[in-house]
């Protein structure tokens, strides 16, 4: 590796989002029965992790180019999109913890199943749309950067 080579992850664009996504995915995995209720959310999280990891590992040959890439990511709104995705995952984690507070890792209570599956269905749908939008934006930016 070139001693002056830097990864996009070192620019601080993806760290928060990746951390928030992993935390939410771990929460969903820890709630055995919740996974069936929010399976599509877990799938979307897996889908966004790949392009974020690719963006995070994107190698940039020197510091001047790295600075230019960071400026471009900020100007085009990609950095903001990634950070918004991280905040959305963080908020959704807190909501899911609140919605499932009466459950254990082995069993979801009826009250929490209703909270997640019915009462907050629209909020889950909105979150899923946010993640899909972020995934599309990040995938486009990774593809463009690799060209």
Rounded to 5 degrees, φ, ψ at 133 are -65, -45
Percent of the chain residues past pLDDT 70, beyond the cut? 84
The radius of gyration computed from the CA coordinates of the chain, to the nearest angstrom, equals 17
**DSSP annotation of 107:** -
- Residue 120 is encoded by which pair of tokens? 């907050």
C-beta of residue 69 within 8 angstroms of C-beta of residue 8: yes
pLDDT digits (tens, 9 = 90+) for 52-70: 888 777 777 777 877 787 7
pLDDT interval class at 88 (50, 70, 90): very high
Most distant CA atoms of the chain, gap in Å? 57
> What percent of the chain is predicted at pLDDT more than 90?
7
The confidence score (pLDDT) of residue 15 equals: 85
Answer whether 105's CB lies under 8 Å from 30's CB. yes
Given a contact cutoff of 8 angstroms between Cβ atoms, the answer to whether 132 and 117 are in contact is no
Q: What is the pLDDT of residue 105?
A: 67
């Amino acid at each position: 590796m070139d001693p002056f080579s830097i990864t996009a992850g070192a620019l601080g664009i993806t760290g928060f989002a990746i951390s928030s996504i992993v935390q939410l995915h771990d929460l969903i995995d820890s709630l055995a029965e919740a996974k069936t209720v929010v399976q599509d959310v877990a799938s979307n999280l897996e889908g966004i992790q790949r392009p974020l990891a690719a963006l995070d590992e994107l190698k940039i040959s020197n510091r001047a180019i790295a600075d230019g890439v960071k400026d471009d990511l900020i100007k085009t709104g990609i950095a903001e999109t990634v950070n918004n995705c991280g905040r959305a995952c963080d908020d959704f984690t807190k909501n899911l913890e609140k919605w499932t507070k009466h459950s254990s890792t082995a069993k979801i209570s009826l009250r929490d199943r209703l909270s997640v599956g019915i009462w907050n269905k629209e909020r889950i749908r909105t979150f899923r749309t946010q993640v899909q939008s972020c995934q599309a934006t990040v995938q486009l930016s990774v593809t463009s950067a690799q060209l």
